[in-house]
Amino acid sequence: MAKLIVGIMGPGENARPEENEMAFDLGKAIAQEGWVVLTGGRSFGIMEAAMKGAHEVNGLTIGILPGDSSENASYDADIKIITGMGSARNIINVLSSHILVVIGMAAGTASEVALAIKAGKKIILLQQDEITIRFFKNIGTYKILVANTVEETMKIIRDYFKVNPAHAPEGEEAL
C-alpha cells in the first residue's frame, strides 16, 4: 500500500535552534501518523531535525541528497537517494511529496516553495514571518496555507486529505 509522503523543507546551516526543534516535533508527529518524512537528506538543519524526530518513533525517512555520494547525509535518512544534481534536486523533493511543510527560509527553501507552487502542490508555511507569507500567497494564492504550531500543521494536513481524497496516495483511502 502506498504511503503518504510529507516533505519538510527548510534551511540547513542557517536554521535557527527553535526552527530545528519545531522540525523535530513535526517529523515525530508525521511518523506517528504512519506517514513518511521526506527532506533534503543532509546531516544538519531542518533536514536532520525532522528525520531525527521521525526516527524517535520508528518512522520512515527519505533523504534526497544533492551530491554524488552519501557524504554529509543524515544518519537518520533511511532511504538515501543520491542525485548528483546539486540544488536541482529540489524538484525531486517537491514532486515526490504529497504535501509540503516549510520551516524557516533560505534561498534553497524559497526555490522549493516556488517549484511546489508551479507543480500545483499544497504548501504549509509553518511559523513564517508576514513578508514571506505575503510574498508566497501573492504568487501561490490558494496553494499556500499558514500554520503557527505543529498541532495546527497536522490538522491542516489531515483536513486537506479529507477534502481532497484524489491527492491521497494511490491505493490509500483519504484520511
The percent of the chain in helix, strand and coil, each rounded to the nearest 5, is: 45, 20, 35
Please answer whether residues 123 and 100 qualify as being in contact, where contact means their C-beta atoms are separated by less than 8 angstroms. Answer: yes
Select from 3.40.50.2300, 3.90.1300.10, 3.60.20.10, 3.40.50.450 the CATH code of 5-167.
3.40.50.450
CA distance 16 to 153: 19
* DSSP H or E stretch at residue 32: helix 17-32
Per-residue pLDDT of the chain (175 residues; tens, 9 = 90+): 678 899 999 999 999 999 999 999 999 999 999 999 999 999 999 999 999 999 999 999 999 999 999 999 999 999 999 999 999 999 999 999 999 999 999 999 999 999 999 999 999 999 999 999 999 999 998 999 999 999 999 999 999 877 765 555 454 444 3
Return the domain boundaries, the chain. 5-167
* Upper half-sphere CA count for residue 58 (Cβ side, 13 Å): 0
